[in-house]
A and B are shown apart, each in its own frame.
Chain A
Amino acid sequence: MSTAKTQLACKPADYKSDIKPIWCPGCGDYHVLMSFTRAFAELGLPPEQIVVVSGIGCSSRIPAYTNCYGFHGVHGRSLAVGAGLKVTRPDLTVVVASGDGDGYSIGGNHFLHACRRNVDMTYVVMDNHIYGMTKGQPSPTTEPEFDTALSPGGTGLRPFHPLVIALASGANFIARCFSGEPNETASVLVEAIRHPGFSFVEILSPCVTFRPDEKNWKNLVHPAPVVATDDPAKAARRIMTDDGFNIGILYRGDRKPYAPETGQALVELSELEKEFEL
């Protein structure tokens, strides 16, 4: 065997930038970052061919911590940025990162339509059931009885169910992961990125600062007992009735991704004005 060894193989470290995260020590997002870099290494993609797009929130800080191209935009609109990018640059791998506030509240409408549109990209939501950046207000996935300064005594509202919404809206790949299992999460991300169309990966990622109770998630999560289905009806029943800690790929569809042909001009530019000529 050669002693040159595996210098060219992609290592997770190749996908990490030199910028140190500002996340609180103990935050699940550190694990998610590890999962990203491991997944990218496994896929063997050059970092310059990957774009990580995000909005606003703790999770949305992730692009700059990777060594990929990154986009850190406004609150809730990352899926729109990702769609515009992927449709015009189908050669790139687009991963959109979000949180439960960014993705399900302010960005909720874009979530529905991104699932519907089925552009070939991967949407990762780091769900900690709380707004962390603004110090602990309830998000759409916060439990109804969870007490906060903004919702004394709890919101009393039924939590948003992102996986069901994704399925109903047409997402082509649906998975749930737990941040504390970076190897499993990385392998799900690899499959999500490879799967054509819009892939949705919800990662339960505890907030140790405003939701210390979520440290217990590691004891609640369990692998999904059966493999992913391609039958939306079965997937719906499963997702609707599971305990919210069922980890793994839950649905894999075969809808054709939305990808308009671009790049090839069919006519000369000067042709366009002909319709105006008298």
Chain B
Amino acid sequence: MPNAQNLSVAFVGSGGAGALTAGSLLLEAAGAAGWQGLLIRTVGPQIRGGEAAAVVRLADHPVESLPDHLDLLIGIDWLNAQRFGAEIEVGPHSLVIGDPRGGEPPKGIAAFGAPIVAIPMKDMAKAIPDGRPNMIALGIAGKLLGLGEPAFLALFEKWFADKGQAAIDASRASLKAGYEAARDLDLGRPIVPPKAGSTQKKWLVSGNEAAALGAIRGGIRFAAAYPITPATEILEWLAPNLAKVGGALLQAEDELAAINMIIGASYGGTPALTATSGPGLSLMIEALGLATAAEIPIVVIDVMRGGPSTGIPTKSEQADLNIAVYGCHGDAPHLVLAPQSVGDCLFTTQWATYLAETLQTPAIVLSDQFVGQNHAIIERPAEIAFLGQRSRAAEAAGEYKRYALAANGVSPMAIPGIRGAQYTADGLTHTERGIPTSGAADHQIQLDKRRDKLERFNYGDHWASIEGTGNLAVIAWGSVTGAVREAIARAAEDGIEVSLIAPRLLSPARPEQFAAALRGKKRALIVEQSHGAQFHRYLRAHYDLPAAVRVLNRPGPLPIKPGEIHRAIKDWRL
């Protein structure tokens, strides 16, 4: 039986039926009632009128992954809903509600044998002036989840203000009709609302928004933008908000320009960022090498989507690990970090900015569509002290050495305007003064310097999430970490102790810390969303793993759910 404190609802619809809007409203209203939660959107390829599904998962604790099964599925219609078959799974205990005029439900749903309750949402909507079936569906969900109507009514005022009073009234009437239609239904188990009285402020935020805020908090004051799904929201959030804090965003003509613009800004002393996805990152690779060689801090957020090539733009995958870590030609050590949840996008991007500025090197933040575009209700993340502080050169009289050797490998950087410290930043192999050279000794010295500054830095405990004590370690990264945590919690309920190792810092590798985390572990289960098991190979390249290793890997777009991981743990009994 699913836990009563952990509820999942999906709205499915097509042709602009409003499933996504219903999901957003449900999440926000639930948040106001004290729930934490996650809204997972999944859409077809059309820009408008496509099939869409919104999965809302609510709990009294942080929610970081998809549910295995839905408690409630409302089909506003079923057109093309089979596309989402494996993403919106029902179980024998699910309640499925459909409009009899909405077509045949997908085979997967019928196969589970869950009863389908017919509610004629379309016809009901027609009876209401300007009525909307999705608001009826929302009413049904609100009733079944025990949410009060007033929470929604207040939201309508906010959401539909620009559509006018008629739209607000129509939504209210539709919502009421939905509550009425669900009067005699229930989910077959009690709903326990979250305890009131938590003083911690709640946020409703997407990972992309959180990352953008983290960037500004870390000191980013310039962004260059080339739109790409699923990263655009970062750029769109930054455009007005950078202006508010005295920064600026420039729309570039392409990703090549975008990354070179931020390099120019950072060379001038302004911490700078761009956000993109796989195809854009591919175009940016050459300039990432330049920023590495010329030691110019920048932050690049890659919100990963299905690849290669154009791949699946709207869906998640963890397959840009190789290009992020190894993409540059030459030996080009730089930072690669990965957030592990919607809320962690804030921390990781802020930390990445701090590290890039401190270490004068590019940082790639490997987010993905799942954490990037999904909205979550989370407790307000704690403030962190990381603010980018670049070591700057003072006014100089003599020969300024931009790339002077230093014990920690970081040389004070002159910013244009500082008198007497003029130098030329260069991607050519250079001397300590920055003068081009093809000499073996200078090449070696500068390669060593750039490697050492990253490897010798003390990254503290943030480099990884290390939890639990079992001698089976699940090793994961990025957005699958949430599903792994949930699987480990379920295993604990079965009496199986399992530990988690999830590196947030992927490059440079931390062999000593990793070995310490693995001490005493007999088995490792590696979980990742990549067809080529890129993470497994990465771990093999940099770390010693226990003798017994299993890999649970799958490409996108199917998310890896907690249940599968839980099963893999249970099935691996000694």
Contact = CB atoms under 8 A, between A and B. Distances in A.
Interface of A: 17, 19, 46-49, 51, 53, 63-64, 67-74, 76-89, 91-92, 109-110, 112-113, 260-267, 269, 271-273, 276-278
Contacts of A48: 416-422
Interface stretch (B45-53, B197-205, B305-313): B197-205
Nearest to A71: B425
Interface residues of B, number: 65
A269 B245 contact: yes
A81 B217 contact: no
B267 to A, nearest CB: 6
Nearest to A52: B424
Interface string B406-446: 00000000101111111111111000001110000000000
Interface stretch (B184-192, B250-258, B566-574): B250-258
A273 B213 CA distance: 7
B241 interface: yes
Interface of B: 28, 31-32, 201-205, 209, 213, 216-217, 221-222, 224, 241, 243-248, 250, 252-254, 256-258, 260-270, 272, 286-287, 289-290, 294, 377, 380, 414, 416-428, 434-436
A88 B252 contact: no
B261 A278 contact: no
B202 A269 contact: no
Contacts of B265: 84-85, 87-89
Contacts of A85: 264-265, 267-268, 416
Nearest to A76: B256
Contacts of B31: 278
Contacts of B421: 48
Contacts of A63: 424
B250 A83 contact: yes
B276 to A, nearest CB: 14
Nearest to B206: A276
Contacts of B201: 277-278
B27 to A, nearest CB: 10
Contacts of B261: 80-81, 83-84, 87
Given A80-B257, A262-B247, A88 B221 contact: yes
Given A84-B224, A262-B246, A110 B422 contact: no
Nearest to A72: B426
A99 B422 CA distance: 23
A84 B428 contact: no
A260 B243 contact: yes
A108 to B, nearest CB: 11
Contacts of A46: 419
Given A69-B424, A83-B257, A272-B216, 5 more contacts: A49-B417, A68-B422, A69-B414, A69-B423, A278-B202
A70 B257 contact: no
A46 B254 CA distance: 34
Nearest to B378: A276
B204 A276 contact: yes
A252 to B, nearest CB: 25
- Looking at A17, A76, A81, the one whose CB has the most chain B CB atoms below 10 A away is A81
Contacts, number: 183
B347 to A, nearest CB: 14
Contact of A80 (B205, B248, B264, B294): B264
Contacts of B414: 69
B270 A271 contact: no
A231 to B, nearest CB: 27
A72 B264 contact: no
Contacts of A53: 264
Contacts of B428: 72
Contacts of B290: 73-74
B401 to A, nearest CB: 14
Contact of A272 (B224, B241, B287, B434): B241
Contacts of B254: 109
Given A70-B422, A77-B257, A278-B204, A88 B427 contact: no
B422 A88 contact: no
A219 B46 CA distance: 62
A69 B424 CA distance: 6
Contacts of B422: 17, 47-48, 67-70
18 contacts: A19-B435, A46-B419, A48-B421, A64-B434, A74-B427, A82-B264, A83-B250, A84-B222, A84-B261, A84-B272, A85-B268, A85-B416, A88-B222, A89-B268, A89-B270, A266-B243, A276-B205, A278-B377
A15 to B, nearest CB: 10
A276 B378 CA distance: 10
B351 to A, nearest CB: 17
Contacts of A74: 260, 286-287, 289-290, 427
- Looking at B250, B257, B380, the one whose CB has the most chain A CB atoms below 10 A away is B257
A109 to B, nearest CB: 6
Contacts of A49: 416-417
- Looking at B247, B254, B425, the one whose CB has the most chain A CB atoms below 10 A away is B425
A262 B269 contact: no
A81 B32 contact: no
Contacts of B436: 64, 72
A33 B550 CA distance: 63
A181 to B, nearest CB: 27
Contacts of A19: 435
Contacts of A113: 252-253, 257
- Looking at A110, A267, A278, the one whose CB has the most chain B CB atoms below 10 A away is A278
B244 A272 contact: yes
Given A88-B265, A89-B416, A278-B204, A269 B216 contact: yes
Contact of A84 (B216, B217, B250, B289): B250
A71 B426 CA distance: 6
B273 to A, nearest CB: 11
Contact of B244 (A64, A82, A263, A266): A266
A82 B425 CA distance: 13
B202 A265 contact: no
B267 A81 contact: yes
B424 A71 contact: yes
Nearest to A119: B250
A278 B28 contact: yes
A72 B416 contact: no
B203 A276 contact: yes
B418 to A, nearest CB: 6
Given A80-B256, A266-B245, A276 B263 contact: no
Contacts of B250: 83-84, 87, 260
A19 B205 CA distance: 53
B420 A88 contact: no
Contacts of A262: 221, 246-248
B417 A91 contact: yes
A78 B245 CA distance: 27
Nearest to A96: B264
A109 B253 contact: yes
Contacts of B286: 74
A91 B416 CA distance: 10
B256 A77 contact: yes
A187 to B, nearest CB: 24
Nearest 5 A-B pairs (CB), nearest first?
A70-B424, A84-B264, A84-B261, A80-B260, A81-B264
A26 to B, nearest CB: 22
Contact of A87 (B205, B248, B289): B248
A51 to B, nearest CB: 5
B143 to A, nearest CB: 21
Nearest to B399: A18
